[in-house]
């Protein structure tokens, strides 16, 4: 490249801008997928808690009706609640003598015991989504099935797709900047400004940009 040729210089800037825009757009798509997963996770946890509440209420009814005839309608509701819950998360059950059904996440964490439900909550404050039990413990590792398990698996510690894209963007920018730094600007001096900039390695794809000054 001839540093004094304005056309060539503009051609380099245009190509660099196109490359940066492609990185930005790809990062945006991946981020949107992550945001959608978070939204679905929050909604799924809310639905799970609704079924836990329903099961606890039915357990309370079982306890009240224990010495009377069992209500077939309640049994049908319990079966439906457990079946629906099974599509959302993995769990095991233990039925007590009075007909109540106790529900445990992965056979360990109580979700429903008698007439008490122990709601879950989702925490998105770190790259890896945490699912908290009623005591605030992260039980995400116990969730291996159902819709919630699938959503958690989509968002491993810092999604591999965005990690790879950020690595590629950083490497690309650094290599181009280093290569151009070995040349001369239009004044015949080593360039004082990099062609590409980005905030940090962890968000290079989303923040990569062109300074607008070709070396």
Please report, for the chain, the start and end positions of each structural domain, with discontinuous segments joined by +. 6-29+161-210, 43-153
How much is the average pLDDT of 156-162? 65
- Whether the pTM exceeds 0.85: the reply is no
**pLDDT higher at 50 or 182:** 50
Residue 204 to residue 4: CA distance in whole angstroms: 30
Using 50, 70 and 90 to split pLDDT, how confident is the model at 16?
Answer: very high
pLDDT at 212: 56
Closest CA to 173 of 150, 199, 147: 199
Using 50, 70 and 90 to split pLDDT, how confident is the model at 70?
Answer: low
pLDDT in tens, 21-58: 999 999 998 888 778 889 999 999 999 999 999 999 99
Residue 50 to residue 43: CA distance in whole angstroms: 11
Residue 28 φ/ψ, nearest 5 degrees: -65, -40
Is the model's pLDDT at 13 over the cut of 90?
no
pLDDT at 77: 94
124-141 CB burial, b ≥16 within 10 A, e <16: beeeebbbbbeeeeebbe
**pLDDT higher at 203 or 4:** 203
Across the chain, mean pLDDT equals 87
């Amino acid at each position: 490249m001839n540093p004094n040729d304005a056309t060539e210089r503009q051609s380099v800037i245009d190509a660099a801008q196109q490359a940066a825009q492609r990185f930005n757009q790809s990062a945006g798509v991946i981020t949107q997928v992550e945001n959608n997963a978070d939204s679905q996770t929050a909604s799924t946890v809310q639905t799970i808690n609704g079924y836990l509440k329903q099961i606890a209420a039915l357990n309370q009814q079982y306890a009240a009706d224990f010495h009377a005839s069992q209500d077939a309608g309640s049994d049908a509701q319990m079966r439906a609640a457990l079946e629906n819950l099974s599509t959302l998360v993995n769990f095991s059950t233990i039925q007590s003598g009075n007909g109540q059904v106790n529900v445990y996440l992965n056979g360990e964490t109580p979700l429903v015991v008698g007439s008490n439900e122990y709601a879950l909550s989702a925490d998105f404050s770190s790259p890896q989504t945490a699912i908290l039990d009623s005591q605030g413990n992260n039980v995400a590792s116990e969730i291996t099935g159902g819709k919630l398990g699938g959503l958690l698996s989509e968002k491993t510690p810092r999604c591999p797709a965005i990690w790879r894209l950020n690595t590629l963007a950083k490497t690309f920018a650094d290599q181009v900047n280093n290569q151009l730094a070995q040349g001369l600007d239009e004044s015949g001096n080593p360039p004082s400004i990099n062609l590409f900039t980005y905030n940090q390695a962890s968000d290079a794809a989303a923040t990569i940009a062109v300074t607008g000054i070709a070396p």
